[in-house]
Structure 1
Amino acid sequence: MLIQTVALKDVSVFAYHGYYPEEQVLGRRFLVSISVTFQHIGDTENLQHTVNYEVLNTILLGEMENTQQLLETVVKNILDRVLTTYDFLITATVGIKKMFPPMPGEIHHSFVELNYTKP
């Protein structure tokens, strides 16, 4: 069996997620990644036999517009929509990096990731 991967890595999005009220007012840059795997069918010229990464991008951009306090919620919402859209996935991973989170120290990014594996 051949397993195919389709992914978007570090899609840059400005959004207003954050636990603290000022984060939801000021906003910040996030990098979102999605990676999915599924059985390769063989017809490499038919979008019906693959995962369209334009659809993945539309899902992640839509969910990033819905302000949440916790990135865990955003990651779960993205993953749920991807799994609903593509029920044939074997695995799926969604991760979000919050760039330069507002806390002491020089932190390049915080990171939340959720993984799905078909039972």
Structure 2
Amino acid sequence: MITVSLNGVEFFAFHGFYPEEQLIGGQYQINVEVVFEPAGELAADELNYTVNYEVLYNICCKEMKKPRKLIETVANSIIDEIKKHYPFIERIDVSLKKMNPPMPGPVNYSAVNITYNKAATN
């Protein structure tokens, strides 16, 4: 099995349950990890035998541009897009952090973590 990950990917986006959050926006951080069996021999040194982390980044970018009320919805959409692009992936972990969420006191971040496990869905 191979693991490919992106960590600490930062975005400014307009997610939030409250209308003002979708107006003023905020900072977010994403971690994505995927686990899979390689599609071919890694010694061939070919990108199409693995998961391209640039594609993972672009999927995150695309989904972060769509304002949503819940960060859970965003994280789940990222997983759905990764599954469409790479159906051979066995596991996907997405962690989405909302930096400095609007609270009455200081909070570094709130977060959701969603895991897709192909074996559990078959």
Normalized against structure 2, the TM-score is what? Answer: 0.92
Gap runs ≥5 in structure 1: none
Match of 1:113 in 2: 113
Is 1:78 paired with 2:116?
no
Aligned with residue 23 of structure 2, among 16, 22, 25: 25
- Write the distance in 2 (CA, Å) between the matches of 1:25 and 1:48: 40
Gap runs ≥5 in structure 2: none
Residues 1-119 of structure 1 aligned to structure 2 (within 5 Å):
3-40=1-38, 41-44=40-43, 45-119=45-119
Instruction: State the identity %.
Output: 41
Q: Secondary structure at the match of 2:42?
A: coil
User: Shift in Å at residue 42 of structure 1?
Assistant: 3.4
Q: How far does the alpha carbon of each residue in 1:16-58 deviate from its partner, in whole angstroms, 9 at most, with x for none? A: 0000011001000000111000114432511111000000000
- Write the distance in 1 (CA, Å) between the matches of 2:74 and 2:88: 22
Aligned residues: 117
Q: Secondary structure at the match of 1:29?
A: strand
Query: Counterpart of 1:52 in structure 2: which amino acid?
Result: N
Q: Secondary structure at the match of 1:34?
A: strand
The structure that is helix-richer by fraction is: 2
Return structure 1 stretches of 4+ with deviation > 3 angstroms.
Answer: none
Q: How far does the alpha carbon of each residue in 1:46-102 deviate from its partner, in whole angstroms, 9 at most, with x for none? A: 111100000000000000000000001101110000011101111101111000000
Normalized against structure 1, the TM-score is what? Answer: 0.94
Q: Secondary structure at the match of 2:79?
A: helix
> Aligned-residue CA RMSD in angstroms?
1.0
